[in-house]
Homo-oligomer: A and B are copies of this chain.
Amino acid sequence: MRVLLTGAAGFLGSHLTDRLLAEGHEVLGVDNFLTGQRENLAHLAHEPRFTLYEHDVAQPWPDWGPVDAVLHFASPASPNAASPYGYPNLPIETMLTNAQGTYHGLEYARRYGARFLLASTSEVYGDPQVHPQPESYWGYVNPVGPRAVYDEAKRYAEAMTMAYHRRYGLDTRIARIFNTYGPRMRLDDGRVIPNFILQALQRQPLTIYGDGSQTRSFCYVDDLIEGIVRLLHVARAPYPVNLGNPDEYTILELAQVINRLLDNPGGLKFEAERYLEGDPKRRRPDIRRAQKLLGWTPRVPLEEGLHRTIADFRQRLSASSSSDALPERA
């Protein structure tokens, strides 16, 4: 299979690249390195079945030749306004990458009769009023709030993908990806797991915004990629499929696990809620559709996944010239 993958230098994109190459496929990776990282693909410099194109997917796409599948994974994805890589600081880029990027990807797939897979997000559910969230839930999103540049752009991308399926019979798939973590996450995009691990490695107290009672479900990246690959290969799946880990933890529990794994004496530090308006209090996937359609369920327990993530963070921090790999503190 010849696969065109946008966002190939990103956290998910680079893992997906590795997995597709391991399966024997050819991968054409596209990235503009707005939030992607070149080092995520450095190990593929001499891989003959991998080609990397530097291109902004919001702009018209050159013809990279026929492909069997287009996978659209490009987008900023961190809601943290304190990071330069958070989408609140890349609002127009985020919107265009998801809207025009999806449009160009769908047109590319249509031209070559290829399958199209959209990396959507649990953020389409916004601040959900239903728990856990099944795919049939329509979500609760503020169209003019500060998170809308991501949430509404992903909802638009889903609508556009369905429109191509309905109008042209294009073979499309939509993965609604819940919180995922693992090696190669940006150290500096301000998401909670990298933040906590960095603080714990520095023997600092972990900063909890609010009282820590808000919950999240965290899926280890290998599990997530397994779900994506199954969704790509299944015979037919035009409607959205949730992919995530339904195990729910409070932010407080997560912090305690990380402090324990790293023997961090720093403890915890509570600060006023600072997240963006519309930040969900809870989010947890109903994964029955994925279980039934793909025979998929996440397998890596949180502690095991954190263990592997910590090992990667340690390695990256020591490989870089000491402190300049650390993010600036907001």
A binding-site residues for B, Cβ under 8 Å? 91-92, 95-96, 99-100, 103, 124, 126, 138-144, 146, 148-149, 151-153, 155-156, 158-160, 162-164, 166-167, 174, 239-240
Residue among A103, A151, A164 with most chain B CB within 10 A: A103
How far, in Å, is A239 (CB) from chain B's closest CB? 7
Q: Give Cα A318–Cα B139 distance, bound, in whole angstroms.
A: 48
With A91-B166, A99-B156, A149-B163 already in contact, 9 other A-B pairs whose C-beta atoms are closer than 8 Å: A91-B163, A95-B103, A95-B163, A124-B143, A141-B155, A144-B162, A146-B166, A148-B158, A148-B159
Q: Is the CB of A143 within 8 A of B139?
A: yes
User: 17 A-B Cβ contacts within 8 A?
Assistant: A92-B103, A92-B163, A95-B103, A95-B156, A95-B160, A99-B99, A100-B100, A138-B140, A138-B142, A144-B158, A144-B239, A146-B166, A148-B158, A148-B163, A151-B159, A152-B156, A153-B156
Q: Which residues of B contact A160 (CB under 8 A)?
A: 92, 95, 149
A95 to B98, CA, bound (A): 13
Taking the closest CB of chain B, its distance from the CB of A290, in whole angstroms, is: 16
**Are A126 and B138 in contact (CB-based, < 8 A)?**
yes
The answer to whether B152 and A155 touch across the interface, beta carbons within 8 angstroms, is yes
Who on chain B is nearest to A127 by CB? B138
> How near does chain B come to A101, taking the closest CB pair, in angstroms?
11
How many copies of the chain does the oligomer comprise?
2
A167 to B166, CA, bound (A): 35
Residues on the B chain within 8 Å of A155, using CB: 141, 143, 148, 152, 155-156
Query: Bound complex: CA of A155 vs CA of B164, how far in Å?
Result: 19
Looking at the assembled complex, report how far the CB atom of A97 sits from the nearest CB atom of chain B, in whole angstroms: 12
Residues A91 and B167 in contact, CB atoms below 8 Å apart = yes
Contact of A144 among B142, B148, B240 (CB under 8 A): B240
Q: Find chain B residues with CB under 8 A from A141 CB.
A: 138-139, 155
Specify which chain B residues have a CB less than 8 angstroms from the CB of A174 in the assembled complex: 144
Residue of B nearest to A167 (CB): B91
User: Closest CB-CB distance, A324 to chain B, in whole Å?
Assistant: 29
Q: Which of A156, A158, A162, A174 has the most CB of B within 10 A?
A: A156
Q: What residues on B are CB-neighbors of A99 within 8 Å?
A: 99-100, 156
A82 nearest CB across to chain B (Å): 16
